[in-house]
Chain A
């Protein structure tokens, strides 16, 4: 019964989304306020209906209602409650339902938050959101309905892939979707602006917070996924340039470019059409990510044929949405008013260069990801484009971008004094040089990679701090606290995010170049030595979890003859799916991780013990966390909370003593 209600709610949401996508557009064209206002109530009803549908599916998972096909295929009565709930989006149909739920939530947020928005613009933005929702709801209803019943009802479910029964992955998809779908708001604003034919700084002030929110969520989502891959998959890798990884990385790169170009629109009223184009592209990549992952083309071109309906529907949706927006762009953008002027050497110029490099990086990742597909389709030749390609192409494009990130924030708007900037950055150059020299001298072997990487990270960190201390006047006399508080939050946010990037680079360099590994065939009592650690295999025990059998290997970690801790890597067997997994054990310290994983050994008594020492690895996620925090701090900026300045007739009254 509840499932049928959920199904009906889904159909209702689809119909309401259709209304939301059409009526306000007509209203906006006719300047009919009543029709335009429909968008608001429709957004509310759509969200309520979808929340109901989602709750219905969740209820089926929580109560293990195996008469529902989706639950029977992806859940099990013995599964821990946390994974029963997160299992709702641990499968194709449920995750698409989450997608539209997030989309509707963003739609309602625009409806509720947009007090100062011109009514026409708001109506159009809500309508575009409604059309997107209708497109995806149609997809769910036609090809991926989670509310189908099963007859006869099986005694128990088939369980969720054990690899996905993990807290890291439980929250990775919602975060990622917040990011993907968050870009839909920037997209809707852009399309609405194109219909309207004008973009002003107030527009950017509306778009920027949504982009920031989406970007922060996407960053967190990607970081969570890579962290999960690092500790769960058992080979200690955190990024493999896999097509599914790239599918989430492309919108991130485009979104990062968008974040920066929107600043220029807001502050200087320039780069307007480019920013609109970027918003379309960022959301386009989000859709493409969904398409690539959902259609199965990545697994193999032939997988596409296994379930052509889904792939075809998303492909058409992608073509209509992005193709339509781009066509609209081609029509309307040239007529858009020119922005204000600036010299090539200026903050604007720096941000243009940033966008140029980020766009190049996005294109590189995109071509690298899709090339095997196209070559296979066009000529039948098969090639692999793996990590070596991306290391050789993506990294060189990003190096100047990092260099520039150190200089850009110091440049003045309109026309910058490059000489003055370089004088201020002498110290940063000195720090970078010293770090390069130290790295060169201290590392084993003379690989240039770490030298360049760490020097750049030091350059970025030092110049970011110089810029920040300059702005808060750290070396001036009194009033520093007031100046720190008085500085716009977005300035603190930028500082934090750029520092986060520097920290991330250190982590990536440490892991890529300095990882040490030992692999031994071990029985209890065996000893392995690595990077100053002595690891002793104490014993092997069995232990059971709620829905798995486990074998726990206890390792004693010693340093300088003293026991400093214990590691307990596990091997698990999930009987329902007949799957084995490894649970790595990690001793994480600021300077590096000691990572242990066990596998089957030569004989039943032996275990293959695999140990890594990966210097600076935790910095990867610390850096990502700083970027996310930077984004959120920037989002809390008063300017963005207050929204766009409105033209108010007469004198403006303000409460006394505001911050």
Chain B
């Protein structure tokens, strides 16, 4: 629990409690194009044992294993998509930091558009209401009398 309290305290800190060594010098490809592709993939893959880090940033052993695995597949000539499919088959969609577009996430991906449309609708409705102001109902005799009384007491108060 104490650990959680610290976790909670790191309001802005993606948690990296240990020194970072992330990508190791000996794993880097000589081919810079391939290396760039590898890093691009790493950045989109979640380190499953860390607090919200990609395997590109993490020095956890599991992240290292995953990087090695992905590098092997890249060398074998697999496409990014094939690698993603392999990762999802093995670890589930949780492993992808970029949530895939499927029924469960439609609402997620649609949320910015829905929010914007809702905002526009509200603003439009408000503007329209403004253009055709509803005449307020005339005061009843009773209300008029109360108003007069209030005005009188107000003057006294001043």
Contact = CB atoms under 8 A, between A and B. Distances in A.
A and B held together in a complex? yes
Given A307-B4, A338-B130, A245 B12 contact: yes
Given A383-B105, A388-B98, A519-B28, A356 B120 contact: yes
A576 to B, nearest CB: 13
B2 interface: yes
Q: Interface extent on B, as a size class?
A: 35 or more
Given A299-B7, A371-B108, A384-B95, 4 more contacts: A244-B10, A386-B44, A393-B112, A519-B28
A296 B116 CA distance: 31
Interface in A201-243: 222, 225-226, 228-229, 233-235, 237, 240, 242-243
Contacts of A580: 18-19
A500 B102 CA distance: 39
A423 interface: no
Contact of B54 (A368, A386, A597, A602): A386
B20 A243 contact: no
Interface string B132-158: 010000000000000000000000001
Contacts of A90: 9
B136 to A, nearest CB: 10
A163 B17 contact: yes
Interface in B7-23: 7-14, 16-23
A360 interface: yes
Interface residues of A, number: 82
Contacts, number: 200
A389 interface: yes
Contacts of B57: 235, 237
A384 B21 contact: no
A228 B13 contact: yes
B117 to A, nearest CB: 9
Interface stretch (A51-59, A374-382, A465-473): A374-382
B76 interface: no
B123 interface: yes
Contacts of A379: 104
A352 interface: yes
Nearest to A358: B119
A167 to B, nearest CB: 15
Interface string B17-47: 1111111111010000000000000011010
B9 A599 contact: no
Contact of A234 (B16, B100, B158): B16
Interface string A577-618: 001111000000000000001011010000010100000000
Interface in B99-139: 99-100, 104-105, 107-109, 111-112, 115-116, 119-120, 123, 126-127, 130, 133
B112 to A, nearest CB: 4
Contact of B115 (A222, A360, A392, A519): A360
A119 to B, nearest CB: 13
A192 B123 CA distance: 25
A229 B13 contact: yes
A397 B105 CA distance: 19
28 contacts: A92-B5, A92-B8, A172-B11, A173-B9, A173-B11, A176-B11, A229-B12, A235-B20, A248-B11, A274-B126, A293-B11, A296-B4, A360-B115, A360-B119, A371-B107, A383-B100, A384-B96, A384-B99, A385-B108, A386-B44, A393-B109, A519-B24, A521-B24, A582-B19, A597-B20, A602-B26, A610-B22, A649-B158
A75 to B, nearest CB: 13
Contact of B16 (A173, A235, A371, A383): A235
A296 B9 CA distance: 10
Nearest to A608: B21
B1 interface: yes
A521 B26 CA distance: 8
A509 to B, nearest CB: 17
Given A359-B119, A364-B112, A600-B21, A389 B99 contact: yes
A581 B2 contact: no
A368 B109 CA distance: 9
B99 A299 contact: no
A233 B13 contact: yes
A367 B116 contact: no
Interface in A376-414: 379, 381-389, 392-394, 396-397
Interface in B51-104: 51-54, 57, 59, 92-100, 104
